[in-house]
Structure 1
């Protein structure tokens, strides 16, 4: 059985095809709320054609999204191309975790999906860091209680803001310059953006660990995912593991829980 897993983010849409306990392939396309369902159909069908996967073999689809205004076109594309009614991650979907947010409906679908994967796979107190357009930090207990977390601007947002708001500063690639004391404007910006962000991550993780342990949890496992997770994890010891497939794994697990 082939299942299509879709994570709609603010910057990118990640699509994965799963079959018999393994991922066959995954793709990343740009999120564009101006695209019609026909335009998405052409793009997605081309991906399936290039991967030599028959769309008619897709037996189920699940979508998580943090971009509401794209969903009409995208859901219509799914129905048209795959003849399937997608499961949409949201209220009413079985998750297996207990969301302790003041208003559970406020929790982003991506954060729920990551928490489901972390609980099912790692079964321990976990701090989940998702380095996306925004960087989210989520606290999950061993019993699967989602305690909450925090949200801060993603590293690319911080970099773009520096370029857009400071007239003499150029746009830079997100690369480690090697030193914190730098001798060029570009390397100085890279050092400030990347190493400054690492400092932010380390402090937030330290505070979250203390708050979770004050509640009686054992020392939390720190799990990172998202496009820039490896870049940040390579420069800090507070991240225990990078799992780039965490969100797709969460979608797979949610599909299994809800497909009937």
Structure 2
């Protein structure tokens, strides 16, 4: 079984994947903390594996994608010490991107965005826009050949809300949720904040996708991923498809390619 690890700025996702079928047997999420040791990961993961009916010996390979360089070492130690395998790191041989990165600074492309591009192109044909709702919300364009052509980085919705609450002393902390109605004139502070955050974000998504489509000037499919994608789906038709596990799928694809090549 493959243990795919997606280390983001806010959370790290561990997923147990069946190679070949890419079926996700289990997934777990933990807050990102570069100080967390391999031993701490192992205790936590061992318990969760047991709850799902698996053992550490069921993991035969580990692949890691990270945008947090300080977290990588302990994850690699986790793989070698507790799963007795050398972790593959996305973007590093033998799991190089095998991806054309057609931008001004190719080396600046985040691992998560590269992995998402690989997965999206493997799963869908034609020009694609991938929207990933994470700590930041990213919009990435890949063309019909699978080449990464560039994109947009915007503040994530939680980041936007945190900044608003921190900067305005009298505003309360609220949960992000879809408003009960389509009305955009709020009658109290909480409703006004929710409207501003939610409908403001919908307007940003729709506006940026419309601008990207005009610039691409070819038919394009819009793919959404990340935990908050389903929150917005009910009030916009901008998404053609939601792929909640796109990054994990991309890691499984990269592992399969390296395994075949090797």
TM-score interval for Structure 1 and Structure 2 normalised by the shorter chain: over 0.9
Aligned to 1:207: 211
**Which residue does 1:45 correspond to in 2?**
46
Task: Work out the number of aligned pairs and report it.
Answer: 255
The aligned residue for residue 75 of structure 1 is: 76
1:245 aligns to what? Answer: 245
- Report which stretch shifted further, 56-65 or 19-28: 19-28
Partners of 2:59 and 2:124 in 1: CA distance: 29
**Paired residue for 1:172?**
174
Conservation of the 8 A alpha-carbon contact between 2:46 and 2:55: no
Counterpart CA distance in 2 for 1:98 and 1:50 is 41
Q: By how many angstroms is 1:58 displaced?
A: 1.4
Correspondence 1:226-245 to 2 at 5 A: 226-245=226-245
Cα deviation 1:39-83 (Å, max 9, x = unaligned): 111111111111111211212111000011111112111211110
1:21-56 per-residue CA deviation (whole Å, 9 max, x = no partner) reads 122111111111221221111111111111111211
1:108, 1:196 → 2: CA distance? 26
Following superposition, the deviation at residue 227 of structure 1 comes to 1.1
Q: Secondary structure at the match of 2:24?
A: strand
How far the C-alpha of 1:175 sits from its partner, in A, is: 1.0
**Residue 233 of structure 2 is aligned to residue 254 of structure 1:** no
User: Which runs of 4 or more aligned residues in structure 1 lie more than 2 Å from their structure 2 counterparts after TM superposition?
Assistant: 91-97
The answer to whether 1:161 aligns with 2:163 is yes
Displacement of 1:125 after TM fit? 0.7
- 1:91: how far off? 4.5
Helix, strand or coil: the match of 1:99? coil
CA 1:7–1:49 in 2, change beyond 3 Å: closer, same or farther? same
CA distance in 2, matches of 1:64, 1:245: 13
Tell me the TM-score normalised to structure 2 length: 0.94
Equivalent pair of 2:172/2:190 in contact (CA under 8 Å)? yes
Mapped partners of 2:5, 2:115: distance in 1: 11
SS in structure 1 of the partner of residue 144 of structure 2: coil
- Structure-1 separation of matches of 2:61 and 2:80: 11
Partner SS state of residue 191, structure 1: helix
Asked if the contact 2:178/2:232 (under 8 Å) is kept, the reply is no
- 2:152 — aligned with what? 150
Gaps of 5+ in 2: none
Query: In 1, Cα distance between the equivalents of 2:33 and 2:191?
Result: 32
Contact 1:94–1:257 (CA under 8 A) maintained in structure 2:
no
In the aligned structure 2, how far is the partner of 1:12 from the partner of 1:6? 11
Runs of at least 5 residues in structure 1 that lack an aligned partner in the other structure? none
Task: After TM superposition, give the deviation of residue 237 of structure 1 in Å.
Answer: 1.4
Contact 1:97 1:146 in 2 (8 A): yes
Matched, 1:11 2:10: yes
Q: In 1, Cα distance between the equivalents of 2:123 and 2:149? A: 18
